[in-house]
């Protein structure tokens, strides 16, 4: 079943040329915007709806781990744009783990629930993790590391890490961000902090490749939109974009999961070898500042026919 699923989904990341697909006429009062992730989806783009602008953009390959901020924060995210995975070992001494044989890898779950991360509640376990660094932009596997989180306080994490089969252990202090939701880190060399995410009260959506776990055990790279878990909520309404009004919003229908918009606002046309955008799907985003915007996608290609360039219409809903 896994092989069949992967074959069916393979074109999600495949190269293709654009075939013109007719879409609904744009709404005159709506802003039309396009962001470009690149043909190999190298970019992660943080977006603010109020200003209809990109706040920050980074290459998705440059970071490995994201450490939760906040006084009580302890969760650690993997870079799921590379399909990174973690496996819990029985070792408490990082030097004792030299192989991942017999270990079971898992992935952060795509809904963004912090209680469903691959590393999980490391505090109660005190064990060493094997870390699969996933796949780089070239398609090559980036190797494996081992990680032990030694401690966390209100201001920082203490970690140990190394190549999986190495006895040369690196130690690093990860400061908790005072403005962003997470502090980002690369296990390259002796370790490098990365400035990735904007201040958590300034952005609404991130356009990125990410990992969707099918059937709870089959990870696959998809390309779409995730929302800021710190205050942004999204709902989808079965009302045409042009007709949707503020009074149509159902406050109780907003969802906390970060992948409500997700990736499936587009589908792959096997006959024509192109992506087709479902322009009849309308999302309402309650922004981090509490304002309401309706959004729909109208294209996935740039003017040169290169995929990975979502174009969308955006309009504020005012009572």
- State the average pLDDT over residues 126-137: 97
Instruction: Give percent of the chain with pLDDT exceeding 70.
Output: 91
CA torsion angle for 310, 12, 205, 232 (degrees, to 10)?
A: 130
Q: ∠ CA(53), CA(280), CA(80), 5° rounding?
A: 55
pLDDT of residue 29: 84
pTM: 0.91
DSSP state of 141: B
* Residues 27, 49: Cα–Cα separation, whole Å: 17
Look at residue 173 and give its three-state secondary structure: strand
First to last CA, the chain: 49
* Residues 142, 119: Cα–Cα separation, whole Å: 19
Reported as a single tens digit per residue, the pLDDT across 280-295 is: 999 999 999 999 999 9
Look at residue 11 and give its three-state secondary structure: helix
- State the average pLDDT over residues 123-136: 96
> Binning pLDDT at 50, 70 and 90, where does residue 39 land?
confident
pLDDT of residue 228: 98
* Residues 205, 247: Cα–Cα separation, whole Å: 23
Reported as a single tens digit per residue, the pLDDT across 253-287 is: 999 999 999 999 999 999 999 999 999 999 999 99
Helices of type H across the chain:
2-9
More confident residue, 7 or 194: 194
Nearest to 66, CA basis, from 226, 223, 288, 221: 226
């Amino acid at each position: 079943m896994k092989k069949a699923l992967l074959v069916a989904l393979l074109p999600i990341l495949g190269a293709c040329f654009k075939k013109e697909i007719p879409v609904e006429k744009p709404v005159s009062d709506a802003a039309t915007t396009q962001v470009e992730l690149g043909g190999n989806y190298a970019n992660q783009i943080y977006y603010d709806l109020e200003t209809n602008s990109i706040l920050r953009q980074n290459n998705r390959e440059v970071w490995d781990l994201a450490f939760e901020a906040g006084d009580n924060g302890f969760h650690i995210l993997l870079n799921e744009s590379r399909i990174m995975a973690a496996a819990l070992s029985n070792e408490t001494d990082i030097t004792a783990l030299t192989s991942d044989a017999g270990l079971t890898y898992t992935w952060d779950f795509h809904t963004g629930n912090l209680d469903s991360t691959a590393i999980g509640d490391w505090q109660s376990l005190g064990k060493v993790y094997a870390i699969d660094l996933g796949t780089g932009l070239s398609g090559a596997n980036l190797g494996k590391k081992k990680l032990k989180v030694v401690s966390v306080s209100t201001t920082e994490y203490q970690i140990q890490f190394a190549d999986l089969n190495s006895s040369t252990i690196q130690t690093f202090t990860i400061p908790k961000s005072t403005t962003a939701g997470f502090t980002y880190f690369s296990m390259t060399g002796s370790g490098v902090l990365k400035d990735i995410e904007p201040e958590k009260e300034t952005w609404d959506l991130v356009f990125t490749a990410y990992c969707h776990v099918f059937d709870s055990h089959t990870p696959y790279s998809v390309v779409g939109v995730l929302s800021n878990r710190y205050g942004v909520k999204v709902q989808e309404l079965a009302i045409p974009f042009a007709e949707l009004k503020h009074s149509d919003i159902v406050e109780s229908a907003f969802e906390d999961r970060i992948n409500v918009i997700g990736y499936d606002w587009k589908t792959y046309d096997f006959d024509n070898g192109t992506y087709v955008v479902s322009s009849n799907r309308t999302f309402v985003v309650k922004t981090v500042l509490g304002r309401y915007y309706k959004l729909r996608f109208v294209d996935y290609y740039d003017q040169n026919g290169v995929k990975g360039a979502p174009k969308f219409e955006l309009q504020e809903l005012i009572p």
